Structure 1
Amino acid sequence: MMILVTGGAGFIGANFVLDWLAKSDEPLVNLDVLTYAGNLDTLRTLDGDQRHVFVRGSIGDSELVTQLLTQYKPRAVINFAAESHVDRSIHGPEDFIQTNIVGTFHLLEAVRAYWGELEEDSRQNFRMLHVSTDEVYGSLTKDEPAFTETHRYEPNSPYSASKAASDHLVRAYHHTYGLPVLTTNCSNNYGPYHFPEKLIPLMIVNALAGKTLPVYGDGQQIRDWLYVKDHCSAIRRVLESGKLGEVYNVGGWNEKPNIEIVHTICALLDELRPRPDGASYRSQITYVTDRPGHDRRYAIDASKLQRELNWKPAETFETGIRKTVQWYLDNQDWVVNVQSGNYRDWVEKNYNERHA
């Protein structure tokens, strides 16, 4: 028995792969196209591990996906593969349409054909789990209740619109063809191996490099923060016992404004790696022009997952963010290796060209 993981060299996917093999001897095939955010350094500890089969390729490559399904006969497919940064989708939406919508379609078609040829017992036990985001639900005001699984989809960026479309395709393949699917919609993840374009790793990396800490607008955008290893445990639980065709929201019960996140990171760095001049890292904070269509608040109600599958996060934000900052302090080689020329060009385009 084995599983097929797509996008398993990205931030969440790689953490899932590492956790899966740490907790199980069941092997997996890891399919990843290795864009700028796909990083095999994250999986270096698995070099030589026969349980991990890495294949470079895209979910949009129907022939390759079909070949892998036929050769390895996985009992489940877990789809992490996606273009995933809102800012990048604003600058270049086409990649998001191709990967998140067209790619998901090709993956679904290949999986449907494979599933249709399985023997009855294997057909009954097979699962496809699609990993999505809370951003498909749009934005909340300060006092609105958190997103539930029945909240109307109101995506506000090319990224979230493309993910919403992929969610709808997955749902349609269940209701039209009977494909045994599960969908999870998660809140903002953070933790080890996070590519330093997202808020938390960017603040840590810039602070240590003596650079400015760019905060969009007034910094009062609110997000629910989920430690990535908690997300991995939720996915395993949904895969194990989730009801077919259902959606499960995964959140950390940690709503915080962005500026509070930045202040927390600065305080931890002041404690763990003080600046040579004795000043606080908070002196590096700079407010920059907000991005277009920036959603004001996301909040996940994960009570369905807790009620039906007995899952809840193990980490508080306080314990998770301390582990995260310490990990970046202890793994500077990894940070240096992922900061390619493409990444530096992106940071300059997205932040340095904004007016402070």
Structure 2
Amino acid sequence: MHILVTGGAGFIGGNYVRRLLDGRSALPVDRVTVLDKLTYAGNLANLAPVADHPGLRVVEGDIADPDLVPKLLGGVDAVVNFAAETHVDRSIRDPAEFVRTNVLGTQNLLDAARAARLPRFVQVSTDEVYGSIDEGAWTEEWPLAPNSPYAAAKAGADLLALACARTHGLDLSVTRCSNNYGPYQFPEKLVPLFVTTLLRGGTVPLYGDGLNVRDWLHVDDHCRGIDLVLAEGGPGEVYNIGGGRELDNRSLTGLILDACGADWSAVRQVADRKGHDRRYALDDSKLRALGYRPEVAFEDGLAQTIAWYREHPDWWRPLLPVTAASAPSA
């Protein structure tokens, strides 16, 4: 099986590529082509553990390139599209790039997939397309109500993908995940930003009152869910992938402080993000009916993640100039 993984040098995409090639996936994959623009968040070091695998090919390029993408689809059995601009704060400052990559880039992939009669396509999305929810949890039928430019661009991509499935018959499924954490995550997101800052003796920025709630999903569980959707998901269907562990940002900060040997003097309150969603919560019973269960307990996964950053400063220290002005994304 030959899979094209777009955005495969990023955090989640890189974890997925390693899973496909290191024997953890149950899918019969022998070839993986990675298409990645290698912007600030794309990093070939994320693929180092499988860099010598004979089935891996890495192409530097843009999913919005109408000449390149069709050339990569010959002999491909499936596309898994991770390629996206993802940082909410960046989207507030410069939404145009998010529209170009997340919306127009996805449409270019869909056009090429149709022309190539691609057998299977998975569009990887986010719970942020649903907006914010005070109580309960979103099902896949919940109306989309994105509040940030990032979420709006991802919602647009979802709708284009589903329209392609329904109008043209492309065998395509959409996944929507909750907040990911784990190794190799670019340190502009909350967990790696806080950990790498505290490991250097710095202070971390906590938005507003810190009571915004997120459901946390280890990247390995997310990739396990994507495998299941790729193998068994229905055409034109959406599947939520949750971690089942809700925490407000203040509580999460406390856990990270304790694990890094710091206290609340290392936290500085910053003005809340514009349009900051208060709470995310996913109902993933649809995917659980196919056999999905998160396997990484949050406390274990967080400890393992912090240990990974502690043990791999050679990976994250070169990224510090890029992240110096970042605020936490959660």
Same fold (TM over 0.5): yes
- Is residue 296 of structure 2 the alignment partner of residue 296 of structure 1? no
Q: Tell me whether 282-291 or 182-191 shows the greater mean CA deviation.
A: 282-291
Residue type at the aligned position of 2:112: A
Q: Is the radius of gyration larger for structure 1 or structure 2?
A: 1
Shift in Å, 1:284:
0.2
Q: Aligned equivalents of 1:129 and 1:198: distance in 2?
A: 24
Shift in Å, 1:250:
0.2
- Is residue 70 of structure 2 the alignment partner of residue 66 of structure 1? yes
Q: Aligned equivalents of 1:106 and 1:42: distance in 2?
A: 26
- Is residue 164 of structure 2 the alignment partner of residue 173 of structure 1? yes
Shift in Å, 1:285:
0.8
Q: Aligned equivalents of 1:112 and 1:136: distance in 2?
A: 25
Q: Aligned equivalents of 2:218 and 2:295: distance in 1?
A: 9
Shift in Å, 1:267:
1.1
3-state DSSP of counterpart to 1:62: coil
Shift in Å, 1:108:
0.5
Aligned residues of 1:147 and 1:299 also touching (Cα < 8 A): yes
- Is residue 294 of structure 2 the alignment partner of residue 320 of structure 1? no
Q: Aligned equivalents of 2:125 and 2:179: distance in 1?
A: 11
Provide the residue aligned with 1:28 in structure 2.
Answer: 32
Aligned residues of 1:36 and 1:343 also touching (Cα < 8 A): no
Q: Aligned equivalents of 1:145 and 1:289: distance in 2?
A: 27
3-state DSSP of counterpart to 2:301: helix
Aligned residues of 1:131 and 1:184 also touching (Cα < 8 A): yes
Aligned residues of 2:34 and 2:56 also touching (Cα < 8 A): yes
Residue 46 (structure 1) aligned to one of 37, 42, 50:
50
Shift in Å, 1:342:
3.3
- Is residue 298 of structure 2 the alignment partner of residue 335 of structure 1? no
Residue 136 (structure 1) aligned to one of 129, 132, 136:
129
Provide the residue aligned with 1:19 in structure 2.
Answer: 19
Residue 61 (structure 2) aligned to one of 36, 51, 57:
57
Matches within 5 A, 1:235-250: 235-250=226-241
Q: Cα RMSD over matched residues?
A: 1.2
Aligned residues of 2:22 and 2:50 also touching (Cα < 8 A): no
Shift in Å, 1:343:
3.1
Residue 158 (structure 1) aligned to one of 149, 153, 172:
149
1:164-187 CA distance string (max 9 Å, x none):
000000000011100110100000
- Is residue 185 of structure 2 the alignment partner of residue 207 of structure 1? no
Point out where structure 1 has 5 or more consecutive residues left out of the alignment: 116-122, 271-279, 352-356
Q: Aligned equivalents of 1:337 and 1:22: distance in 2?
A: 26
Q: Aligned equivalents of 1:327 and 1:7: distance in 2?
A: 22
Shift in Å, 1:47:
2.6
Residue 77 (structure 1) aligned to one of 76, 79, 82:
79
Q: Aligned equivalents of 1:19 and 1:281: distance in 2?
A: 36
Residue type at the aligned position of 1:137: Y
Residue type at the aligned position of 1:205: T
Change (3 A) 1:172 1:68: same
Residue type at the aligned position of 1:27: R
1:269-324 CA distance string (max 9 Å, x none):
22xxxxxxxxx3332011110010000000111111101x1111001211111111
- Is residue 304 of structure 2 the alignment partner of residue 311 of structure 1? no
**Superposition TM-score, scaled by structure 1 size:** 0.89
Aligned residues of 1:128 and 1:182 also touching (Cα < 8 A): yes
Aligned residues of 2:21 and 2:53 also touching (Cα < 8 A): no
Q: Aligned equivalents of 1:100 and 1:248: distance in 2?
A: 19
Residue type at the aligned position of 1:56: E
Residue type at the aligned position of 1:170: A
Aligned residues of 1:207 and 1:281 also touching (Cα < 8 A): no
Q: Aligned equivalents of 1:232 and 1:48: distance in 2?
A: 21
Aligned residues of 1:39 and 1:338 also touching (Cα < 8 A): no
Structure 1's consecutive aligned runs of 4 or more residues displaced over 3 angstroms after TM superposition are none
Higher helix share: 1
3-state DSSP of counterpart to 1:205: helix
1:235-284 CA distance string (max 9 Å, x none):
001111111111000000011000111100111122xxxxxxxxx33320
Q: Aligned equivalents of 2:252 and 2:14: distance in 1?
A: 24
Aligned residues of 1:234 and 1:250 also touching (Cα < 8 A): yes
Shift in Å, 1:214:
0.5
Point out where structure 2 has 5 or more consecutive residues left out of the alignment: none
